[in-house]
A = this chain, B = another copy of it.
Amino acid sequence: MPRRADHDERRRHLTAALLRIASTRGLQAVSMREVAAEAGVSLRVVQYYFTDKRSLMLSGVTELAARLDRRVRERAAAIGTGLPPRTVFDVVLGAILPTDDDSRADQLAWTAYYAAGLTDPTEAVDGRYAPDALERWLTGVLASAVEAGDVPAGIDPRIEVVSLLALTNGLVSSVLGRQRDVDDALRVVRYRLDRLFTAT
């Protein structure tokens, strides 16, 4: 049984090509032939490693969700566990905003997938990504901050977190649409954090 090709490596290569197209020319421009051309291989190879177009697209969202998740996790891990809650929020929310070209490209592709999933249940993004886990973790962090007295007791930790995540999400959209640059977005986030952590 000859088996000289590394399937995982091949698939990663093709998926990366797919995401490159999605983030620059949109999901509409993604075809088997375009992916093949972008990856520098023949159409047949794309067919071989992803039998369907569906499985190709699916590989795209999966990789994307992994990347976004990794970005947050890496940053969260880098700051350890003993740091002030305010710093945790700053770092985590900052990891969501598209601060460099790579994360901008990923957020563009993510937005395309998200929009497609709203009307085409085939490409549904939900389930593949777990915003709930992030929400729960941050709620815990904020609740601890309340107990520690860093944050006034009158607030509702869950709603505050939901609100911060939705705000960040909205800011991502406006940054992608070039209505705002990423520094402005960071300023808005930090303003909100200031008011949350120092009110009273």
Which residues does A use to contact B, with CB under 8 Å?
A: 22-26, 28-29, 108, 111-112, 114-120, 125-126, 131, 155-156, 159, 162-163, 165-171, 173-174, 176-180, 187-188, 191-192, 195, 199-200
Contacts and interface: CB of A to CB of B under 8 A. Distances in A.
Contact of A199 (B22, B174, B199): B199
Contact of A25 (B117, B119, B131, B173): B119
B26 A120 contact: yes
B119 A112 contact: yes
A28 to B, nearest CB: 7
A166 B23 CA distance: 22
A119 B126 contact: no
B173 A169 contact: yes
B191 A26 contact: no
Nearest to A166: B170
Contacts of A178: 126
B118 A26 contact: yes
Contacts of A195: 155
Nearest to A124: B177
Given A163-B192, A187-B159, A191-B156, A119 B169 contact: no
Nearest to A119: B26
A74 B4 CA distance: 66
Contacts of A165: 170
A168 B170 contact: yes
A196 to B, nearest CB: 9
Given A163-B167, A166-B174, A188-B166, A118 B114 contact: no
